[in-house]
Amino acid sequence: MKVSENSVVVIDYKLTDNDGEVIDSSEGAGPLAYLHGMGNIITGLEEALLGKEAGDEVKASIEPAKAYGERQEDMKQEVPRDLFSGIDNIELGMQFQSETEQGPVMVTVVAVEEEMVTVDGNHPLAGVHLNFDVTIREVREASEEELAHGHVHGEGGHQH
C-alpha cells in the first residue's frame, strides 16, 4: 500500500540541520505514527513521503517555507523583567507561554539584561533547513475513529 491521503504511516526518522547536527530522531523514542494529509507533520515531509511504501528509505531536504517558516524579526521583543515576577532566575533558552492577540504563543528567552528580557516568538526551528532520513516501516488504512480525531491511535500515536 502506498502513502496517500488518510493513510497511517509509521516511520523511523533522523532530522539534521545543514551542519549535520542531529535535531531530532526516533531512535530511543520509537517510531512515529502519523495520519497523512492532516498536517500532523510538516508539509515538506508529507510531500516527500507521498506515494512511497513500507521498506522505502526517503531522504528529504526541506526549506523553511515548507517546514517551520522563515524567522520573523518582529516576533522578537523586549519586555520589562518585572513581568517575570515570581521567577528568580531567568535564563537563556527558557520558554514561556505568552498571551497575544492571535492567542497563546510559546516564546523563548534569547537575551537577559538587568531591566529587560528579550523573548522570541519564532518557532525554534524557524529559518532552519531540515534534512530528513526516513525509513517507512508500515503503511495502513486509518480507522474511522482515527479519521474523526485527525491523528493515529496506538503505538507511535496518541494513547487514549
- Under the rule (CB under 5 A), what is the footprint of Zn ion? 149, 158
Shortest spacing between CB 41 and Zn ion, in angstroms: 16
Shortest spacing between CB 145 and Zn ion, in angstroms: 7
- Give the residue with the Cβ less far from Zn ion, 137 or 149: 149
Shortest spacing between CB 149 and Zn ion, in angstroms: 3
- Give the residue with the Cβ less far from Zn ion, 89 or 159: 159
- Give the residue with the Cβ less far from Zn ion, 134 or 142: 142
Closest CA to 148 of 43, 46, 35, 50: 35
- Residue 5 buriedness (CB in 10 A; 0-12 / 13-18 / 19+): exposed
Return the half-sphere exposure (C-beta side, CA atoms, 13 A cut-off) of residue 65. Answer: 0
- Give the residue with the Cβ less far from Zn ion, 10 or 109: 10
Shortest spacing between CB 35 and Zn ion, in angstroms: 10
Residue 73's contacts (CB-CB under 8 Å, 6 or more residues apart) are: none
Shortest spacing between CB 38 and Zn ion, in angstroms: 12
- Give the residue with the Cβ less far from Zn ion, 37 or 69: 37
Residue 87's contacts (CB-CB under 8 Å, 6 or more residues apart) are: none
Task: List helix spans (H) across the chain.
Answer: 43-49, 144-149
114: its cell numbers: 538587568
Which residue lies nearest Zn ion, judged by its C-beta? 149
